[in-house]
Homo-oligomer: A and B are copies of this chain.
Amino acid sequence: MKKLESLFNPKSIAIVGASPKRGKLGNILAENIKISGWKGQIYPVNPKYAKNHAKYFASLQEIKKKVDLVLVAIPATAVSQALLEGATASPKISNFAVISSGFKEAGTEGKKLESELVEISEKYQLNILGPNCLGFINPKQKLNATFTSGNFKPGKVAIVSQSGALAVALLDWTESIGAGLSKVISIGNKSVVDESDVINYLAGDKDTHAIALYLEDIKSGGKFIEALTKLSGRKPVVVIKAGKNKLGQKAISSHTGSLAQDESIIEAAFKKFNLIQADNIPEFQDLIEFLSFTEIPRSGEIIVVTNAGGPGVLASDFIGKSEQLSLLELPTKVKNELKTLLPAGSSVENPIDILGDATPERYQGTLEILSKYLAKYPTLAILTPQSQTDPDRVAQVLVKSKKKIPVLLTSFLGGKKVSKAKLALKEKCISDFSSPEEALAAMEKILLFRNSQSDLKKRTGNSPKELSLKKQSSSIKIFDGALREKRHMLFWNEAEKIFNRYKIPLLKSTSFAALNDPRLKKVKFPCVLKTDDPKIAHRWDKKGVVLNISNFSEFKKAYLRIKKNTKSKNFLIQPMQKPGLELILGMKRDSSFGLVIIIGLGGTYAEIFRDRVIFIPPVTPKEILRKLRDLKMYPILKGYRGEKGYNLQEIANVILRIQQLASENPEISEIDINPFLIYNDGRKGQVLDAKVYLA
C-alpha cells in the first residue's frame, strides 16, 4: 500500500462518470468540488460527452497529464475497466475513490465484481477508497469530494466512517455547531484502503489531532494492531463500534455482506491501545465536540459552578461514581474571596452554588476569582434559565473566561430560553452539553485516555527467564500422531509433555485404561478420577469426574460409574488437592486478530460472573499486571479482608509461558485450562485440568 498523501491531498482529479446533467452522481460530485472552492484541476471523463463537450475526455488514457485521484461514479460492472485504464494510462494513475455501489453489499454478483477490483489493485498497486462510499472531504484544501453538500471548515478532528449515511448526519451536525474537521473519510466496503491504512495516514497528517472512527468490523485484526502500535496513542482515537451482538451483526451482514467477528477480542484490542469508546451516537458526538473545542484536561479535579442546586447534585453524583473525576477541594483563599462576592445562602464549597437569582455579573465575578487562582483545573458551568439569569449574557461571560480557563465546559439546560446562548458558546469553541452528566461523561472518557497513556509507560513486573527452545521433533510427533488418529484433542500425557517443556505446572497425574493396571496399586488416597477422552470437552458436564475418593472400593465404583456415563476408555488419576483459588486460563487463535490469551475467575462462578480479561499478544509482564487490575476479583488476588494476597508474578509467568508455547507451536489451535489452582500460603500454583486442541 502506497502512502495515501496524494489521494487525500490531490492537485488534479478525474471524474469517471462525469455528466452535464443535474442530479447525476458524476454531476453532483463535480458541483460539490467546485462549490467547495478547491483550486486544482478537474478532468471530466465520459465517452458519451467527449465528442460534443470540449473539456470532457473519452477515457482516463486520453488525459495524458498527471492525475492524482480518480473519482469513479459509474455502474459497478464498468468499474474494473476504468481502473485498468487508469493503471495503464501514461502517466500511471494510482489513486481511486469508487463511489459506485453494487459490490459486496449487493450479493453474489457484486462480491465477484469486488474481488476483481481487489485483484486489479494488487496487480497494479492501486490505492482504492470504497467502493460503495461517500468519498472524502479535505476542508483545509477546500475539497469536498463527496456527493453530500455543505460548508465545511478546517478543524482538529478527522471522521472516518464505514457508514456513509452516518457521516452525512455527522457532517450536518458539525456544521450546525460550527465545528471544523481535519478530514472526513468514508471508507465504504474498504475493499483495498481500510481503517488501518487510514489510521496510518492520519497518524502522520499534521492537521489531524484526533481521530473519530465508526466501524462495523475490523478488516484485518493484525493490520489494525500494527497501525495502532505505530500510532501508540499520540493522537486520541474515538471509536463507535456497531455490531456488538448477534442482532447487530445480522443487520451488518444484510447491509454490507461482512461476517461476524468476536466482539470480546475487538474490545480487548480497543482497550490495549487505549481507544476512547463511545457507546452511542450522542456520546460519539459529545466526544468529537470535546476534542474539537477543548484541549485534553491535565487533571480530573473539577470545579462546578451552578445557578441550580439539583443539576449540581446530579453532577456531584456523576463525579462521585467516576474513577477519573473528583471535585476539587477549593483553597480557603478562594472560598473567602467567593464569600465576599456571593450573597448569603450561596455555597462556596464545590459545587459552587451561586443561587437561582444569579445574574451574568455573578457568573462573571465567580469565574474571575476561579481564573485568577485555579485556571488550570477543568471547570463546568451549569445554567438554568431563571428569571434573573440572562443566558445570552452569561454565554458572553463564559466566552471571555475561556481565554483564561482552557478546559471550560458548559451545560445550559432548557429549551427556547437557552438555544441561542448554546449556539453562541459553540461558535466560540466552548463545548456545551445537553446535561451536566454528559459533559462529565465526555470528560471522564478523555481523562481515562490521558491517564492510561501514562499508565502504559510505567514499568512493572519481570519476565520469567526466556526459555530458549528449539523446535523438538517430539512435539511434532505428538501432533502427527493425534492427527493420524483423527484426534483434535490431546490426551493428558501428550499435553503434559508439551506443558513440561514450557514449565507450565501441570498436576502430576496417572493415565490408565483398565482396573487391572499395576500402577493402580500405588494410588494414594484421597484422589480424583476423571475420564481422559479426546471426544469429551467438558468432563464435568458429562459426569466424567469423581472427587475425593478415599479408598480402593470407592475408586472401583467411581471407575464403573464414569465408564457408564461417558463410555470412555482412558482415565486419569490425580491426587486430591487442598482448596485454593480457581482461575481459568486459555488461548485461542482468532481468524482476524490471531493469538489471544484469556484469564479470569474459575470454578462454579466462572460462567455466572464471567470475570475475565483478554490479552492480545505480544503481551509484556507490565501489561499483564496492569490488566489483572481490571478483574473484579482483583482485591482477592491482592489480599483481602485479612487474607494474604496471591503471587501475581506467578500468574504473569504462566501467561507469558502460554504465549511462548502458542507462538512456537502453531499446530495448537486452542488451550482451555480450568482450574489453574493458586495458593496464598507460599505453595506453587498447579494446573488441575487442561485441554489442548489441534487445528
A: which residues have CB within 8 A of B? 28, 101-102, 105-106, 147-149, 161-166, 168-169, 172-177, 214, 216, 240, 242-248, 250-252, 254-256, 279-282, 307-321, 327, 344-345, 347, 349, 351, 353, 356, 384-387, 413-419, 434-438, 538, 540-543, 604-605, 607-609, 611, 632-633, 635-636, 640-642
Contact = CB atoms under 8 A, between A and B. Distances in A.
Contact of A349 (B246, B254, B437, B604): B254
A280 B318 CA distance: 9
A605 B169 CA distance: 46
Given A242-B314, A247-B319, A633 B605 contact: yes
A386 B641 contact: no
B317 A166 contact: no
B387 A149 contact: yes
A244 B321 CA distance: 9
A242 B436 CA distance: 13
Contacts of A320: 244-248
A438 B280 CA distance: 8
Contact of A316 (B102, B248, B635): B248
Number of chain copies forming the complex: 2
Contact of A434 (B251, B281, B321, B608): B281
A575 to B, nearest CB: 18
A585 B408 CA distance: 48
A101 B345 CA distance: 9
Given A434-B281, A632-B608, A245 B321 contact: yes
Contacts of A148: 386-387
13 contacts: A28-B387, A101-B345, A166-B311, A168-B414, A169-B385, A177-B415, A243-B313, A247-B320, A254-B347, A255-B347, A280-B437, A541-B641, A605-B609
Nearest to A320: B247
Given A251-B309, A280-B435, 20 more contacts: A149-B387, A165-B307, A165-B310, A168-B384, A169-B414, A172-B385, A173-B414, A175-B415, A216-B310, A242-B313, A242-B314, A244-B317, A245-B320, A246-B320, A254-B349, A255-B313, A280-B314, A281-B314, A540-B642, A608-B633
Contact of A435 (B163, B247, B282, B641): B282
Nearest to A327: B247
B282 A242 contact: no
Contact of A176 (B282, B327, B415, B633): B415
B164 A435 contact: no
A131 to B, nearest CB: 13
A170 B349 CA distance: 26
A669 B663 CA distance: 60
A162 B28 CA distance: 55
A312 B251 contact: yes
A248 B166 contact: no
B251 A351 contact: yes
A2 to B, nearest CB: 29
Contacts of A163: 308-311, 313
A133 B280 CA distance: 36
Contacts of A607: 640-641
Contacts of A214: 310
A543 B642 contact: yes
Contact of A242 (B317, B415, B541): B317
